[in-house]
Amino acid sequence: MSAKKKAPAKKATSKKAPAKKAPAKKAASKKAASKKAKKTGTTKTKRARTASSAGPKKRTTTQASATKTKSAGAKLRQPRSAPRNEAADEDFDSPPQLGIGSRVVPPSMDYDEEQPPPSRARRKLSGDVEAEIRALEERLDGLIRQSAASTDGGEASLREQVQSVAREVVERLAPDIEAPGGPDARVSDAVKDLMSSDYYTRQWGRLGMRSRSEDVDEFGLDPVYEARLRPLLDFLCERYFRVELSGAEAIPASGRMLIVANHSGTVPLDGLVLRSALRLRHPQQRALRWLAEDFVYYLPFAGALFTRLGAVRACQENAERLLLGEHLVAVFPEGVKGIGKLFRDRYQLQRFGRGGFVRLCLRTNTPILPCAIVGAEETNPLLFRFEYLSKALGVPYVPVTPTFPWLGPFGLIPAPTKWRIAFGEPIAVDSYGPEAAEDHVLVGRLAERVRSNIQELVQRGLDKRSSVWLG
């Protein structure tokens, strides 16, 4: 029995243990409730204050909502349209400003400041532009009428005035010769610059830019530059070489024709002299364009000089364009082999290549005129030629004459020999047709015929002359 009574006692003690902790929990909950009550009280007071201040506004909003609900039924069937905001329209028409937002005002401007409508300013500006355009048109019309009314003895035309002003500007902007090594260079730098070929190339380019002209054709002929050198060219043709021209009446007054001549002279001056002779001695003063070899354009100064005086780089495309343009063209089928003949082989025509000039004449229906030049072989007699330096110098060979290279560049000055230029009978090719240009046998036969005619003309000229110097 005693054991049974002790067991419930233990249960009672186990139940009383949590009862001791209950007062602490109740005290913590009472403190949290008091804090919450204080917070809710402060929030209620704040809400009451805000409600008292915002009371009239809430009433007005409620009244407005009530009126909206009353009139909602009447507006159901009417189409809705957004209310027009005039201030937004003005902002949209105003010029764009930097910033973000629907309306951006510069810092120097007041928000309440009223600005004039920009659309009116734009209309006024457009009217001013139209007036300026009309004034410019009237001024241009007056200049055109003034230039058209000018005569030869009267006031210069507008184009001539513009050209004269352009020439003055070009002359003023022409660069001067550059000092070797720079303006403040030392003596060693100046000597180093003088020893290099780049310095002379730059100076030649500057001089070429100084004497440039605006009237240049598609092949590089500069009439202004040629007119400047015409006294020298006339002196070479009439006084120095004393050229005699025979058979020039075979050249027509107009139209295309291909003159085929022998090539001679270490310095190829035959094309330049032939052009000057036809300009001086032909009845119609025909202008000649001759085809120059590629190596001429690698020589210093020679390529640019010959191009500005009427030479054209030798190729089928350039020759065909010249002939289709009704020009008088001269070719030298011997090429480099002609001017590279030794003095012992003088006046012996070399092979005429593959007859490219014959194919050209067949395709363009151009007559061929044989021509012989006697006297050019003795201007610079070629004694020897060195070819192992040709690649380094960019020339086909290095000539050795009685004066070159012993006298330096002065050794290439031609001797004043007597020249004779004779033309043969024209050879017509119009009966063959353009398709005959693919006939190799016909092309070879015509090329050999032209070569034999030129050789015969050369031999006649040699038989007629009694002296190399007096003719």
Gyration radius from the chain CA atoms: 51
Cα 10–15–19 angle (5° rounding)? 140
Least confident of 7-11, 392-396, 429-433: 7-11
Amino acid 156: pLDDT = 52
- Can you read off the two tokens belonging to residue 43? 């929030």
What are the tens digits of pLDDT across the range 138-167? 877 777 777 666 544 444 555 666 666 556
What are the tens digits of pLDDT across the range 307-332? 999 999 999 999 999 999 999 999 99
Amino acid 152: pLDDT = 46
Q: Give burial (CB, 10 Å; 0-12/13-18/19+) of 270.
A: buried
- Three-state DSSP state, 288: strand
State what percent of residues in the chain have pLDDT above 70: 61
Confidence band for 251, pLDDT divided at 50, 70 and 90: very high
Closest CA to 422 of 238, 242, 248: 248
Closest CA to 262 of 151, 182, 376: 376
Amino acid 390: pLDDT = 75
CB 376 within 8 A of CB 269: yes
Non-local CB neighbours of 353 within 8 Å, separated by 6+ positions: 333, 335, 447
Taking residues 418-425, report their average pLDDT.
Answer: 96
pLDDT of 393 strictly over 80:
no
- Can you read off the two tokens belonging to residue 401? 């004459």
What are the tens digits of pLDDT across the range 99-132? 444 444 455 555 444 555 544 444 444 456 677 7
What is the widest separation between alpha-carbon atoms in the chain?
A: 178
- Three-state DSSP state, 399: strand
Confidence band for 386, pLDDT divided at 50, 70 and 90: confident
Amino acid 353: pLDDT = 84
pLDDT of 443 strictly over 70:
yes
CB 426 within 8 A of CB 450: no
